[in-house]
Structure 1
Amino acid sequence: MDLSVFIEGFELKNPFIVSAGPWARDAKSIQTCIDQGPGAVTTETITLEANPCISPRMYVKDHHTLNTKMFSHLNLEEWECEIEKIDKRDCKLILSIWGNSESEIEYLAKKAVYMGADAIEVSMSAPIPNRPFDMTPNDAKKFMRSAIMAADGIPVIPKLSYEICLSSDFTRKLAESGVRIVTAIDGLKGLMGVDIETHRSLMPTYGGFNGTSIHPIALAATATLKQYTPFYIFSSGGVLTFENILEFIMLGSTCVELASIIQIHGVSVISQVIKECVQWLESHGYNSFSEIRGLALGTLHRFENIRPEPLFATSNGQTCNLDTCHQCISGCLYDAIQKDDLGVIHIDSNNCSGCGHCVARCPENLLEMRWAKSSRY
């Protein structure tokens, strides 16, 4: 099976990219990632100076993670030494960089080329720190142009926030700067919560929020970028299963970055999800990822273009044996659902508006949507 990806002279053996993070903090950890077989590994984000590590810095609840460490604890000279130790073999090395000005980005990009980077990722809006200026679309254009001019022909990839993905002004200026590939999305700025008894935040500062909750947001960003921009897209955000990877590709993603899944399950999961994706392709009769890339986009429409359909929920007389589950009943805002003493679910089609809430929530999949003969909606 052909897993390779070609992007205007930039070739990857497969579309799986290890995202910037603590799992790629030095030569040893990067080598461990490379050994798992991804197409590329992105270093932890490099800045001009080393950055301190606070403890604790990782906060996890279920499949949600918050990380207060955004940048590498190594300085540039230390990174030079680390990269010399890496045996890249057929894996590409992407250096992630952050700078507070055009001159900083230009300097870091030149250093990345000198250190042997195959591509450079420029963090545009990390969740925690703010650059000392409010970045406008024109600022972004000049910022990226500085990096591209310094990169000596290797790809320069801005990592975008969700907000930038939705701004045609920003994406247009990025395209004008010469950007051809983007990564989307960066983590969101978040807090784990508050202890209401002690009146204290559960974290001492803000962190980068990732996990299952941002996956729908990242999917929307990928689809939006694919529909309205000329970019190749490296999708990132809430990947925890191989199905999440396939979702991104079916919405037009060129490659998919792995972060949350590594944080939760460890580096060995990289080779596992590659294998699972290949097995899915083979079992469905596909020979490459290109055959499924963008397949779902045709089913995605502007809200204004969707014609209301006369649907309502039905149980087909099914019996619910979950005595303590009343999700469909309590969640119905139209009082259309009842369950009799025998557990049979009854849905009043006159009251049902066809919202689909009960169908989505039923843990036993007893409900479905059906055409209505007539509808007020």
Structure 2
Amino acid sequence: MANLEVEICGLRFRNPILPAAGPPGRDGKRLVQCLEGGAGGLVTKTISTTAAQVPMPHMAEIRGGFLNTELWSELPPERWLEREYPIAREAADRAGVPLIISLGYTAQEISELAPKLRPFADGLELSTHYLGEDPRPMIEAIAAAKDAVDIPVFVKMSPLGREMRAAAQVAEEAGADGIVAINSFGPCLAIDVETGLPLMGSREGYGWLSGRALKPLALRCVFDIARTVDLPIFGVGGVASGEDAIEMFMVGASAVQVCTAAILRGPSIFGRIVEQMDRWLDEHGYQSVEEIKGLTIKRLRERTFHTHSIPPLLDVDRCTGCGLCEISCFYDAIVVMDKKAVLDEDLCFGCGLCVTRCPPGALMMPQR
């Protein structure tokens, strides 16, 4: 069994899978359920100085992803301070895990809220979702939080066109203790074809994209940030399985947050991801999750860039003859004959698509 414990800025997590700020942590009851489901620590839903007026409807599952217009917590800060945070704090203490409290957005709002949250929090997560591209509000928000509390301050970044490496550098220089990347992406639009109306109830019908469709973007952002700053990163975006979390660690994450998968599958998803990570690490000979952190960064340095064709390796014994490779090969390099794939290496362009489409894993790109 691999060691899945991680330590970030002095905070020890029993495993690296946490809820992301959102509906899974919308109140004390749900946060308790996250721990019961196997989360390694807690992150609360973002609050501000007033309760959010949330457009209705504001969540929808779409093909390949998820849209929301969630905003911040619909509960007022007084409710959190009087009821929800005490429940979460007691549960975190009982489980022996950290409690990170998410808040936003401006320096003035953070200066007002942070001292009140300090008795409950082991760390703060600052949302920059509504601060735009100008880095000054983020710098001011970090300064306000650092002035108000003596615990780690993590900054959550949104992929709003901002150059993530530059934004991470600014956050590091401003005194942030870590980065949370990324928030949902948007604005986006989805339509109910029966009514002709947007699925989201916002004024223009826009929503923000999360779920599986977000993962490649999230991985790129974490990868870029990890190569730029010397700060721990909580990877967020599209994680729904152990292998998804493994990918996040390989591009440089120190822990992983999960939101959409917990909305769609319930709080037991945290424990399932942990179990899948543990099994993957054991099967691949790793003793600790820390051993794979940043592995992609290292391997990419070692890889030789090329523009010539390198055909995949074909394990005929594993081939089931499903034909997906043949359907998608526009170079006529692979066909199924007698229920087995046959590869013509001279025709192969080396695009790699067949490898990613092969259900039994009979095709593999050679290491280079």
Above 0.5 in TM-score? yes
Structure 1 counterpart of 2:43, one-letter code: T
Identical-pair percentage:
29
Aligned to 1:179: 176
Partner of 1:361: 357
Q: Deviations over 1:82-119 (max 9, x none)?
A: 222331221211111122x3211222222221x42111
Over residues 317-346 of structure 1, what are the superposed CA-to-partner deviations in whole Å (9 max), with x where a residue is unaligned? Answer: 898744xx5x44453344545566x56655
RMSD over aligned CA atoms reads 3.0
Residue 308 of structure 1: aligned partner: 307
2:25 maps to a residue whose letter is A
Unaligned runs of 5+ in 2: none
Out of 54-63 and 205-214, give the one that drifted further.
Answer: 54-63
SS in structure 2 of the partner of residue 81 of structure 1: helix
TM-score scaled by length of structure 1: 0.82
Q: Is the alpha carbon distance of 1:166 and 1:78 closer, same or farther for their aligned partners in structure 2, counting shifts above 3 Å? A: same
Matched position secondary structure for 2:124: strand
Number of the residue aligned with 1:66: 67
Alpha-carbon shift at residue 180 of structure 1 (Å): 2.2
State yes or no: 1:122 paired with 2:126: yes
User: For structure 1, which segment, 210-219 or 32-41, has the greater mean C-alpha deviation from structure 2 after superposition?
Assistant: 32-41
Determine helix, strand or coil for the equivalent of 1:228: coil
Q: Hey, what does 1:108 align to over in structure 2?
A: 113
Do residues 188 (structure 1) and 185 (structure 2) align? yes
CA positional deviation for 1:262: 0.9
Distance between the aligned counterparts of 2:185 and 2:302, measured in 1?
25
**Is 1:203 equivalent to 2:209 in the alignment?**
no
Following superposition of structure 1 onto structure 2, how do residues 330-341 of structure 1 map, counting pairs within 5 Å?
A: 330-337=327-334
* Cα distance in 2, alignment partners of residues 316 and 287 from structure 1: 29
**Counterpart residue identity of residue 274, structure 1:** V
User: CA 1:56–1:347 in 2, change beyond 3 Å: closer, same or farther?
Assistant: same
Matched residue, 2:159: 162
Aligned CA distance change for structure 1 residues 330 and 45 (closer, same or farther; 3 Å):
same
Alpha-carbon distance in structure 1 between the residues aligned to 2:136 and 2:53: 32
Per-residue CA shift, 1:52-73, capped at 9, x if unaligned? 3444322113552222222111
SS at structure 2 position matched to 1:74 = coil
Distance 1:339 1:33 in 2: 47
Residues 370 and 223 of structure 1, relative CA distance in 2, 3 Å threshold? closer
Letter in 2 for 1:50: A
Deviation at 1:295, TM superposition (A): 2.5
AA aligned opposite 1:26: D
Cα gap change, 1:33/1:360 in structure 2, threshold over 3 Å: closer, same or farther? closer
C-alpha displacement of 1:348: 4.8
CA contact (8 A) 2:316 2:362 kept: no
Greater relative contact order (CA < 8 Å, ≥ 6 in sequence) = 2
Partner residue of 1:92? 98
Equivalent position SS for 1:146: helix
- Work out whether residues 169 and 228 of structure 2, in 8 Å CA contact, stay in contact via their aligned partners in 1: no
Give yes or no for contact 1:18–1:258 (8 Å, CA) kept in 2.
yes
Preserved contact between residue 222 and residue 248 of structure 1 (Cα < 8 Å): yes
Segment drifting more, 189-198 vs 309-318: 309-318
Contact persistence 1:185–1:235 (CA under 8 A): yes
The one-letter amino acid paired with 1:361 is R
SS of 1:300's partner is helix
Q: State the one-letter code of the partner of 1:311.
A: I
The question of 1:251 aligning with 2:251 is answered yes
Q: Distance in 2 between matches of 1:297 and 1:28?
A: 39
Rounded Cα–Cα distance in structure 2 between residues aligned with 1:174 and 1:7: 17
**Amino acid in the other structure paired with 1:300:** L
Deviation, structure 1 residue 284: 4.2
1:187 Cα deviation from its structure 2 partner: 1.0
> Deviations 1:144-184 (Å, cap 9, x if unpaired)?
2222222x211111111235774433222111111121101
In structure 2, C-alpha distance between the alignment counterparts of 1:60 and 1:316, rounded to whole Å: 37
What amino acid is aligned across from residue 158 of structure 2 in structure 1? Answer: S
Q: Which amino acid aligns with 2:108?
A: S
Using the alignment, how far apart are the partners of 1:17 and 1:271 within structure 2?
Answer: 10
Alignment coverage as a number of residue pairs? 357
Asked if structure 2 preserves the Cα contact closer than 8 Å seen for 1:124 and 1:160, the reply is yes
Check whether the contact 1:37–1:91 (CA below 8 A) recurs between aligned residues: no
- With 11-20 and 159-168 compared, the bigger mean Cα shift is at 159-168
Counterpart for residue 229 of structure 1: 229
TM-superposed CA distance for 1:236, in Å, is 0.7
8 A Cα contact 1:165 1:184, kept in partner: no
Matched residue SS, 2:311 = strand
- Opposite residue 177 of structure 1, the aligned amino acid is A
Q: Secondary structure of 1:231's partner?
A: coil
| Structure label with greater radius of gyration | 1
- Deviation per CA, 1:234-264, whole angstroms, max 9, x where unpaired? 1111111111112212222111112122112
Which runs of no fewer than 5 residues in structure 1 stay unpaired?
A: 372-377
